Structure 1
Amino acid sequence: MKRLLNLKGILHNKDFKYAISLFVIIGFICFSFYELSKAEVTVVQNDEETTVHTHAKTVGDVFDELAIDVGEHDKLSHEQSELVDSGMKIEHTIAKQVVVNVDGEQQSYYTIADTVEAFLAEQNIDLSKNDHIKQSMDTNIEENLEIYIEKAFQITINDGGEEKQVWSTGGTVKKLLASEDIQIGELDRVEPKQSASISEGTAVNITRVEKVTDVVEEEVDYKVVKRSDDSIEKGKEEVVSEGETGVVEKQYEVVLENGEEVSRELMKENVKKESQERIVAIGTKVSEPASTPASTTTASADTNSNATQSETVSRGTEEETSKTLYMKATAYNWDCATCDGRGLTSTGYNLKANPNGVVAVDPSIIPLGTKVWVEGYGYAIARDTGGNIKGNKIDLHMSSKQKAASYGSRTVKVKIID
């Protein structure tokens, strides 16, 4: 009870009250002085400002006080060991990780750059004008951004014999040709094929192929036909008919590769002018030696007697009594392109059943039904006609198309038997 009364007495003691007040004032002053002694520091991080009052001695202490980790690749406007001054503004730029993929090979970087363009400059990554980058240069840098770069390389293109060097970043041959605006024709050849992938060192060869039609006229030489003539003395020759060259028009399909002819195929031909044979008469006449007048009558009588006898004998042989012609002979077969396919002649004769010994004639020269002998063919009967058989022409029927093609056309001796 006495202690309680003493404590109340102390509290009511003026000196004690004064001491307490003084202590509070001093504490306030000290606190104010402590606070006022703090430095005002502004920290800028990713465009966000934070202002703090601190007794930190260094920049590093400020970040420790704020529990901010400064990465190895981050950028600070001040060194961490620098002493803090009131009013100091510290800028902290946080580095971001970026992955660069160059032709499939990856490499990681840390950067404080804002855009792809700034990053490439920061890391000294050179790009040629032919290289290809997937992102645009003004793309903002974000954490773990992957930048794809395709490095260009040179390709040799041989286009129809003309070479040029072009730049490419890969892909297919077709893509390369499209990028160079090179058109490929239907017949052109490309090596390697258009679906093939290209790489550094690839050579693309284009063979330009075209088909053209070439029409040429060729001369057909005439044949020389020699005929015996008993009205010309033996050892002498006379030109009965001058030969004349013919003209045939030939149409070829020509294949050109890079402008050079590589093949030529005859498609069709047309005879524009027939060749005319050169006919030469060979003399066979033998002059008789002169006889004496005394024996003239007898010799003449003997001669006439012998001639009569010879003539009588010769009348019995077909060859001596027949008419001989020189004619242009052409072989044919009933199964030809212009034939009717039935195998019947104009007279109704069946060539399928009887393929041998039949000739087609101009009835004004050799009447139908006439028996003839043809040099190199033998005996035959005129049983057919033809639109192209005019004058001294004759067609010889062969048992097959192969034989007809093999025979072709030639001048032959024709004897009319009956």
Structure 2
Amino acid sequence: MIEPPPSDQDTQPTHPVRLPARRRWLLVLIAITAISLMLTTAWWFGGRPSQFAVATINPMTVEIDVAGERHIVQTTAKTIGDVLAQENITLGSDDAISDPLTAPLRTGHIIYINRARDVDIIVDGEAQRVHTPLTNPYDILQQAGISLSDADRVWLDDTETEPGNVLLWPVSVLSIEVKHAIQVTIVDGDETHAIETTAETVGEALFEADVPLYLTDIVSPDVSEPLSDGLMIHIDRAQPMTIAVDGTEIETRVQGLTISAALAEAGIALTGLDYTRPAETEPTEPGMHVEVIRVTEDQETSTEPIPYETTYIADANMDLDTREVRQGGQAGVLEVYTRVRYENGVEVAREPDGSVVAQEPVNEVVAYGTRIVVRTVDTPEGPREYWRTFRVYATSYHPAALGGDDVTAIGMKLQKGVVGANPDIIPFRTNVYVPGYGTGIIADTGGARSSPYWVDLGYSDEDWVSWSRYVDVYLLTPVPAEIDYFLPTWTPLRGH
């Protein structure tokens, strides 16, 4: 409460003093009688009224202050009311005067008169108008029965000031607005404290009380709700969380019970293949750190050749073991797709993602001859007919080289005239002629060689001759009933 100062001897009026009507007329009648007596006495004394007046009445000097305007008056009046009547100063019913009208005058007396005026007062939004001669806003509020506390807000003629300044306000006012503080209680988690405030809304009260709010804190009632005396304000605090996303870390607070809900509150969206660590379905905990992994995928394209195939066709118009390319082969083009996965811009995986034949291969077509022509080769034993010849690599062997084994694959005795060969190229029991060796029969075989085109010329231990060179081998007539026109390997052929 603002207390008034101790009483002093100031004669400035604080409350109106009214003069009864009957007394005012009596004073006027007395004044008229006194003036007539003075004039008559002066006439009887030979027209010297001034000397008589000086001898009988002593004028005095007083000051009259009307609403701050002061002037000096010389008067012989005896009372306050007399001098006011002399100066034609009338008082309104609500005007205030510093002394009663019947109070006697004295030299140097200062008479204060405050004219009543309308003052508008608004208290907590309710307006009233008072007609008062008081000028000090504190006195006006006291007269209206309105008290102030240090927590209230006050506007004097639209200028806000502290409540403590009202008592000392230096000028008169025409409007006073007062907003009384109310008490509200803030329950912030485990903390509770009461405040006095003149704020209009819950949010303004929290701001005045320096109570920080985060975006996801829940305030009840809402921050936009108006205040009322005794209101309880509850704050449900969001949990602190650090979110690492898009190259930065965000310190925030969330209400969500899961990481997914927390990200939604923070305005962070997961799109496509994005995921979080911990998983977005995990519950939130105070102070937890969440990492958002941005996932993108790209498709890379490469090409690979598609090998062409070779197809073979028999041609009876071509000699046996001759070939002719009828259509050249061309490799095709295969587009191969690879899906590349990036996490936060870093490649982490590659996976095949299908393929498409951009260009089909063109197969090679080769014709091979099936026409058998019997020819003659000169030998030391005379001409021999043959129907096929190969260029082969010739070696020789004998029983001692086989650890004494002298039995061939078809049961013949190993000796000169017995020849080993690849039976897929030269079938068993085929008669052959090998220049420099003579005639023989394919009666044996051997292990795998680098080329299927080989012969191993047989000898007995006594006549063994070492062979290690390419030779021509001639397949002698008669022509067998079954012929492999298409041998597994084309080379080496004759002339190699």
Query: Could you state the TM-score of these two structures normalised by the residue count of structure 2?
Result: 0.36
Which protein has the larger Cα radius of gyration, Structure 1 or Structure 2?
2
Question: Whose helix proportion is higher, 1 or 2?
Answer: 1
Query: Could you state the TM-score of these two structures normalised by the residue count of structure 1?
Result: 0.42
